[in-house]
Amino acid sequence: MLETPVGASPLSAAGVRESPRRSMAKKVLNRVPEVTLYFWIIKILATTVGETAADNLNTSFSLGLTNLTYLMGSVLLVALVFQFRLKRYVPGVYWLCVVLISVVGTLITDNLTDNFAVPLQTTTIVFSVALAATFAAWYAKERTLSIHTIITGRREAFYWLAILFTFALGTAAGDLVAERVGLGFFVSALGFAGLIAAVTLAHFKLKLGAVVAFWIAYILTRPLGASLGDWLSQPRDAGGLALGTTGTSLLFLSAILSAVIYLAVTKKDRAEVEASEATAA
């Protein structure tokens, strides 16, 4: 058996010696983070900020829900332009987009409900259909819904569109449940956390598909974060801890910033994908 001399380039399957640069190019970076415990922690923190920051912005600025939605939507588009130009996962930019999309998703649903009197049942159905249509188009074009191979601009576009609809759907469905059931903020948070735990159990013990489990949990984190945000920020006579929307937003933004800095330094959530996936895409 022949051995490769020390310092020499490795041989390809065809027996042709490859350059180190070509050998290293066999893997490409995924454009989104690996799904780890850090991912879910920051996601829940971001959804909480989405609820409290949207309320805070609406009360602090006399723009009205519609104009505020346009303004924050514009800021989100700018952030997404930077995200797409990077063509790789950068924690600070990625999670900024998630926080902004959380705020915008909340504002869209609140705007439809408060300004246009669209019932929550209707918005829940509409956003469910929109999310299903996004998944159908995504799969028809890419033949996969895996978030582990977001390695092209088109896949990333489907990814962010799906995330926007999950936030809007989570807001509408969460508000609908809160109005119909009336369990209170803290009990509601425990209920949604229990549902996420059930999805996790179904994935690991009952073989629920990873893609299905991921997106169900992703949707459920929105009402979970909203319930936590309301519990912390709302007055005590309304069932909250009276920290206020400003205090709650700053607290969770600080936690997000600390986690993002840690991930940027350690790179614990950076994922590589085989280059053959990129070629196939």
What average pLDDT does the segment 176-190 reach? 83
Terminal CA-to-CA distance of the chain, rounded, Å? Answer: 37
Higher pLDDT: 181 or 57? It is: 57
CA–CA distances in Å: residue 36 to residues 86, 206, 263, 267, 278: 22, 20, 11, 12, 23
Q: Return the percentage of the chain with pLDDT > 70, whole number.
A: 86
Q: What pLDDT does 274 receive?
A: 59
Residue pair 54/109 in contact by the 8 Å Cβ criterion = no
Looking at residues 241-264, what average pLDDT do you find? 94
Residue 95, pLDDT score: 96
> What span, in angstroms and rounded, lies between the C-alpha atoms of 69 and 134?
22
Give the Cα-Cα-Cα angle 173, 167, 249 (nearest 5 degrees): 105
5 pLDDT band, cuts 50/70/90, is: very low
Give me the pLDDT at residue 27, please.
60
Predicted confidence at residue 159, as pLDDT, reads 96
Residues 15-30, mean pLDDT to the nearest whole number: 51
- Which of 106-115, 200-209, 272-281 is predicted least confidently? 272-281
What pLDDT does residue 72 have? 94
Q: Say if residues 108 and 188 touch (Cβ distance below 8 Å).
A: no
Q: Of 111, 215, 202, which is closest to residue 159 (Cα–Cα)?
A: 215
Q: What pLDDT is recorded for position 202?
A: 97
Rounded mean pLDDT, 183-189: 86
Prediction pTM value: 0.84
CA dist 23 and 176 (Å) reads 53
Instruction: Say how far apart CA 266 and CA 198 lie, in whole Å.
Output: 31
Give residue-wise pLDDT tens across range 192-206: 999 999 999 999 999
Mean pLDDT of the chain: 85
How large is the average pLDDT for residues 99-116?
91
Mean pLDDT: which of 57-66, 218-227, 255-264 is highest?
255-264
75 pLDDT higher than 50:
yes
Asked if residues 221 and 229 have their Cβ atoms less than 8 Å apart, the reply is no
Distance (Å, whole) CA 42 – CA 174: 19
Q: Is the separation of the CB atoms in 29 and 270 below 8 Å? A: yes
pLDDT at 227: 87
Please give the structure tokens belonging to residue 125: 């159905």
* Residue matched to tokens 């995924």: 30
What are the tokens at 57?
A: 């912005």
Across 171-210, b (16+ Cβ under 10 Å) vs e yields bbbbbbbbeeeeebbbebbebbbebbeebeeebeeeebee
Grade residue 16 by pLDDT with cuts at 50, 70 and 90. very low
Domain ranges of the chain: 32-280
Residue 11 in this model has a pLDDT that exceeds 50? no
Tell me which H or E stretch contains 29: strand 27-29
Rounded average pLDDT over 178-199: 88
Which amino acid appears at position 197 of this protein?
Answer: A
Residue position matching structure tokens 């059930």: 198
